Copies of this chain bind each other. A is one copy, B any other.
């Protein structure tokens, strides 16, 4: 039995409706890599938090600042303390998203970053996508119902005006913890009908859904997964140039969001 009766469901619906009609004030941008984050940090003159909102010892970094009517927070899981590389993947992304939501109570999450794209689905290097939904491709649990849990399909916040105004491509996003793609991953990505592939989206979406914060995904294509070149090589080669395209689109997204309500997106 659900712990919520009809009364609290109705109250919750009323709250959601009210939230949708209030201008967006606090946004939380979740980005996995420093290279992806810094152009946005610089663009909006965001500053690193001297008194971290996160517990002592974690590598997570929050930058923040104000732009027009918005309080912009950008969080990045930081660098692994012993290895010095960005803490990519679903576990770090979910943890930093959870802790940031708890501390900052954002009105909207933007999960931004780079992704692999499938040319068979129309993606090319430098394309910036707005993901309409997101699912996992590396959680195979062949038991009824658990299989659906493993796929973990979540919807992005509906944003037809944002998409039209910014002329963004729209596609489904599939998430897994590997940069490469095994035949099993590929089969799941096809089943997910995905155009783009990343390493965090579905986990950020899971936490956003858990804590009832609307989320959009802005993902720029660094490598063509079904192309000629190996993913790691193409990813590293295009990372810097594509993050510039990503920063430009994030800037446009933020400009568009300013002064709007969730229902205007």
Contact = CB atoms under 8 A, between A and B. Distances in A.
Interface of A: 55, 57-58, 80, 83-85, 87-91, 94-95, 98-99, 102, 136, 138-143, 145-146, 148-150, 176-180, 182-184, 203, 206-207, 210-212, 232, 235-236
A211 B148 CA distance: 32
B211 A149 contact: no
A55 B145 CA distance: 26
Contacts of A83: 145, 148-149
**For the complex formed by this chain, how many copies does it contain in all?**
2
A182 B179 contact: no
A228 B189 CA distance: 29
A91 B88 contact: no
Contacts of A146: 85, 88, 179
Given A95-B98, A142-B180, A88 B149 contact: yes
B150 A177 contact: yes
Contact of A99 (B88, B98, B142): B98
Given A80-B149, A94-B95, A143-B232, A136 B87 contact: no
